[in-house]
Amino acid sequence: MIKIIITFLSYILILFNFNLIADENDGKLRVGLLAPFSGEYSNLGESLLLSTQLALNEIDDKNIIIIPRDSGSNDKVKLNLAIKEIIGGGAKIIIGPVTSSLSGELEKYRDTIFISLSNKETRITNNVINVGISLESQLKAIELFLIKQKKNKTIILYPKNEYEKFVEEKIKSIKLKKIKTFKYSPDPRILTGEIEKLTNYSKRKKNLEARKKILKKQDNIKSKRELKNLENLYTLGSVNFDSVIIIDFGNSLKSVLASLIFSDVDDKLVTITTVNQWFDESIFRGNSVKNLYFPSVDMKQFKKYNKNYYKTFSQKPDEITILSYDALGLIYYVWNKNNGINTINDFLISNKIRGKIGTFEFKNNKVFQQLKMYKTQNGKFKEF
């Protein structure tokens, strides 16, 4: 029933805005919203619309008009039609699209500014600003964290897939000492063997058996005590790195973590970090890594946002929708500061801007988010 009501309200809002008569001199801020109201990601589209409405409620300025349109799910025809309708409604700035798959289409509309929710590219183009949590921003946060932890032998793990070239390009921005990279198979049946080779597991296991064999021949208290301690170990000897960065997520990430523990990598000695985490509690289930570190959006603000969203709409938001919430806040801030928005240069602000997800920074024609580091501890997330 809730889904039916939300869908009805969504299209009522779309139809209402369709009849707006644009008057550029009426002092109104018209903002378009490109969201997939149809197709396989229609639930995300509805959630984005509700998130924008939540931001609108909290800003509480009747001079803001939202013009939402259906961009479809990776549909070039619908995307272009939606953009033209939004522009026809008088909006010069648009929140969306969600992904960068059709980013080339945005170049056609030079006089329109797009605040894209994509996290693929930090670079600001002629008319597009991407506000997604970029890999570059996450790697920067991890880099600073590992420097503070005085780690100097880092290995970066990432899967062999269609994104590996993109990942390799972003890795170049890391300035840590003694970095090594390792690509692994996304097939968990192959992955474990690859991690065993990476960690020199077989040699370390043989070291343990050889040492135990020597100690068994000794007849003194010291040797017996050492032998007893070794009975609780699986390998003997350390790995040749002191920190790990895993560029992966979901079940694939869990497989990598499981393989590291199976290969007897001690997470008390080796600092294990990862990316693309939104405080997903499923990471605790079946995961033997007790100390996992990751950069993310501000946890307190994220929880507060989720709570307000649920209280208002009686359902949980898609995690990415906090980006559209912040995007509207960013647009409103710039609009107020400059008494209007004329070009993308209006967004190139020297001051840092604090939002729900964290702090935005526009530097060297790029968008960065200053993210906080968190860790998993006793089945909970804790700011580090």
Phi, psi of 7 (to 5 degrees): -60, -45
Domain identity same for 124 and 142: no
Domain identity same for 141 and 258: yes
Q: Estimate the share of the chain in helix, then strand, then coil, as percent rounded to the nearest 5.
A: 45, 20, 40
Domain identity same for 377 and 357: no
Domain identity same for 159 and 277: yes
Of 90-99, 149-158, 357-366, minimum mean pLDDT range? 357-366
Domain identity same for 159 and 304: no
Q: What is the pLDDT of residue 149?
A: 94
Q: What is the pLDDT of residue 260?
A: 94
CATH number at residue 261: 3.40.50.2300
Of 46-50, 122-126, 205-209, 351-355, minimum mean pLDDT range? 351-355
Average pLDDT taken over every residue of the chain: 89
Query: Residue 37 belongs to what domain range?
Result: 2-132+299-368
Tell whether the model's pLDDT for residue 285 goes beyond 90.
no
Q: What is the pLDDT of residue 363?
A: 82
Task: At 105, list the tokens.
Answer: 């289409």
Confidence of residue 351 (pLDDT cuts 50, 70, 90): confident
Q: What is the pLDDT of residue 375?
A: 94
Q: What is the pLDDT of residue 25?
A: 62
Domain identity same for 279 and 324: no
Tell whether the model's pLDDT for residue 21 goes beyond 60.
no
Instruction: Work out the average pLDDT over 255-278.
Output: 93
Domain identity same for 54 and 159: no
Domain identity same for 167 and 114: no
Q: What is the pLDDT of residue 173?
A: 86
E runs forming strands in 171-329:
179-184, 243-246, 271-274, 292-296
Tell whether the model's pLDDT for residue 35 goes beyond 70.
yes
- The DSSP secondary-structure symbol of 123 reads B
Q: What is the pLDDT of residues 181-193, one digit of tens each?
A: 999 999 988 999 9
Confidence of residue 14 (pLDDT cuts 50, 70, 90): very low
Tell whether the model's pLDDT for residue 7 goes beyond 80.
no
Nearby residues of 111 by Cβ (< 8 Å), 6 or more positions away = 92, 127
Confidence of residue 103 (pLDDT cuts 50, 70, 90): confident
Domain identity same for 260 and 306: no
Q: What is the pLDDT of residue 138?
A: 94
Is residue 330 within 8 Å of residue 115, measured between CB atoms?
yes
Domain identity same for 145 and 100: no
Phi, psi of 11 (to 5 degrees): -75, -30
Confidence of residue 84 (pLDDT cuts 50, 70, 90): very high
Tell whether the model's pLDDT for residue 106 goes beyond 50.
yes
Q: What is the pLDDT of residues 225-235, one digit of tens each?
A: 999 988 888 99
Confidence of residue 23 (pLDDT cuts 50, 70, 90): low
Tell whether the model's pLDDT for residue 278 goes beyond 70.
yes
Residue 189 burial by Cβ neighbours in a 10 Å radius (0-12, 13-18, 19+): exposed
Residue corresponding to tokens 């930090």: 122
Confidence of residue 8 (pLDDT cuts 50, 70, 90): very low
Q: What is the pLDDT of residue 157?
A: 97
Tell whether the model's pLDDT for residue 3 goes beyond 60.
no
Domain identity same for 229 and 325: no
Phi, psi of 178 (to 5 degrees): 50, 60
Q: What is the pLDDT of residue 359?
A: 84
Tally of structural domains, the chain: 2
Domain identity same for 106 and 146: no
Instruction: Work out the average pLDDT over 13-29.
Output: 58
Q: What is the pLDDT of residue 12?
A: 44
Tell whether the model's pLDDT for residue 176 goes beyond 60.
yes
